[in-house]
Amino acid sequence: MDKSEKKETYNKEALMRETIRLATENVERGGGPFGAIIADKKGQIVATGVNQVAVNNDPTAHAEIEAIQKAAAELKTFNLSGYDIYASCEPCPMCLGAIYWAHIDRLFYANTKEDAQKAGFDDSFIYKEMALEPSNRRLFSERMLGEEAFKTFENWISKKDKTIY
């Protein structure tokens, strides 16, 4: 779209319906039942994403991640303050973390994590694992070379021209 063209604007319900439509079409194409949209406060769509986990053999190819990556590239910034995300389902822990890291202002979602569980997408074990001490998690974890690694953080702390994110 060229810069002189006016983008279409949508209200919140229309944005959510479009998100649900993306998710539905994605199922028909062999993808997962998830869609996401990043929109500005005027209701203009900046980027969309759909779940491509099975299609791309990529466990991180969730709809919200795809939409965030596209929006950041389109806007040429990693800080998506001032934008909203619409998700066809309450985000999983990975996607929720990405939404926070992207500084997105508001999250709107349709299905709940309980709805996702009924459809075979149960993230509750991840939430439970995250609350545990690393030594008590199902995934073996061992801290190594912490003092040596902290020197990298010291370099970051003293860097005068760093970009804070």
Catalytic residue among 64, 66, 142, 147: 64
**Annotation says 64 is catalytic:** yes
Residues 6+ apart with CB under 8 A from 38: 45, 46, 47, 48, 67, 68, 70, 71, 80, 83, 84, 85, 86, 104
Nearest to 104 by CA among 53, 161, 47, 50: 47
Residues 6+ apart with CB under 8 A from 18: 10, 37, 45, 86
Q: Which residues are catalytic?
A: 64
